[in-house]
Structure 1
């Protein structure tokens, strides 16, 4: 079940103890370690009601984990991707995941700016004048302490399964402590952009919209830069094109 864009291998395996998913990656891949951390301390709020898998085995040194197989079909590409109830459920699950803990991080904001500068130092196809404007915004940003929560990092229909109308969540390989609003960037750039009613349904499930305009525009900018550059590096042209559109949308917020 691999995406074949990076060195992560995902296998759907039948065993004597039932069906499982095995994920493994090379020594320089950090996603398996992040996913292990998520499963060890933060997914129980979803897994105990069947909305996420249980961790069965793991080996950080080998960059390998084994999890319970979840029934269901990907929301992406199905009718569920355009169904408001899918987003209402996803909003409730996101709120449960984010609501487990929080703390003030005095360094996250500055680190996000540094990371965006680092992305722009890598090969990409962002126009020079756009790159110059991005760097001007990043350099001029006044970093400040932010509240961070446990986040999935890729909360969108390609990581949601739907089983008999019930939404489940997969792939915690981008797990990290971030501002809660960062979880909404990919949805805002994709499904919500096409149908605002899906955004309304999501926040109805989430219990309100926590975004502030100033924080949101910087989060959207960071996400757009990372998308455009990363997609170019792995050769995913459609996703790269989305990244360039995200850049235009993010810059329009300034």
Structure 2
């Protein structure tokens, strides 16, 4: 995938004669992430393809929710954005990805990540009587897509979801993919990137990916995170529902994009969520 004509034109207008320093694109989805240099200053340009639905959410997050982080240098600052063209330009945020480094297993990393997330979540809170029912319907629709979940298990999952209560929920700004692959470390300081899944959700939903991965591998990271956050936002019943929804979504999405190891993680998450 390359930039569309409109995206290239906008970049040429915003940063004339900019040089591409590095391509940070993930590869599994059709989003380009390009590091650019212009007059000695580095930027990140994110461009979505026709199927993209993340750029609009990322731009919304920059416009509405990121100030508590950008003011302290904890998140990249938006420079330009064009939602119709699916193009976002931010200032480059220094640091290396936490994932795959010793910082991924350091208690202080998670204490900092908890503090950062608490600042983000506590900006606002909105009551929503329909969140749980919407999420149930969304998860049932995901189960209708192609997947490799056993037929009998898929039927059990549908029945389980259909029997769930739908109590009112409180929604806050959430990152949506809160884990070390979206954290940077710079001289010991944790910073945050990638807001393509940002949305209003219950606070506890930002813990589901950590719980399925790092907290599971090294349990001591969880109390360090909760201490940084300030309290545990997880109600047991709502948390159980969130874990199973995330597990189903992981198994089905990973199958669709051909990521077999991530798909296996999704199947393991389903089994573990059903046990608790």
TM-score, normalising length: structure 1? 0.98
3-state SS of the aligned residue for 2:60?
helix
1:15 is displaced (CA, Å) by 1.0
What is the aligned partner in structure 2 of residue 245 from structure 1?
268
Query: Does the CA contact (< 8 Å) of 2:177 and 2:209 recur in 1?
Result: yes
1:28 is displaced (CA, Å) by 2.9
3-state SS of the aligned residue for 1:131?
helix
Q: CA RMSD in A?
A: 0.7
Choose between structure 1 and 2 for higher RCO, CA contacts under 8 A separated by at least 6 residues.
1
Query: Does the CA contact (< 8 Å) of 1:13 and 1:19 recur in 2?
Result: yes
1:21 is displaced (CA, Å) by 0.3
What is the aligned partner in structure 2 of residue 136 from structure 1?
159
Moved more, 185-194 or 140-149: 140-149
Q: Which runs of 5+ in 2 are unaligned?
A: 1-23
State how far apart, in whole Å, the 1-side matches of 2:43 and 2:188 are: 22
1:196 is displaced (CA, Å) by 1.1
| Aligned partner of 1:18 among 41, 51, 54 | 41
1:27 is displaced (CA, Å) by 2.8
What is the aligned partner in structure 1 of residue 27 from structure 2?
4
Deviations 1:3-30 (A, max 9, x none): 1111101001111261000000113311
Deviations 1:183-202 (A, max 9, x none): 00000000000111100100
Query: Does the CA contact (< 8 Å) of 2:30 and 2:51 recur in 1?
Result: no
State whether structure 2 residue 30 is matched by structure 1 residue 30: no
| Aligned partner of 1:163 among 186, 191, 211 | 186
State whether structure 2 residue 61 is matched by structure 1 residue 42: no
| Aligned partner of 2:224 among 191, 197, 201 | 201
Tell me which structure has the larger Cα radius of gyration: 2
State how far apart, in whole Å, the 2-side matches of 1:15 and 1:126 are: 48
Deviations 1:22-68 (A, max 9, x none): 00011331100000000001001011111000000000000000001
3-state SS of the aligned residue for 2:220?
helix
Query: Does the CA contact (< 8 Å) of 1:27 and 1:62 recur in 2?
Result: no
State whether structure 2 residue 205 is matched by structure 1 residue 185: no
TM-score, normalising length: structure 2? 0.91
3-state SS of the aligned residue for 1:172?
coil
Deviations 1:131-177 (A, max 9, x none): 11100111111212100100000000000000000000000000110
What is the aligned partner in structure 2 of residue 148 from structure 1?
171
State how far apart, in whole Å, the 2-side matches of 1:28 and 1:37 are: 18
What is the aligned partner in structure 1 of residue 257 from structure 2?
234
What is the aligned partner in structure 2 of residue 105 from structure 1?
128
Q: Which runs of 5+ in 1 are unaligned?
A: none
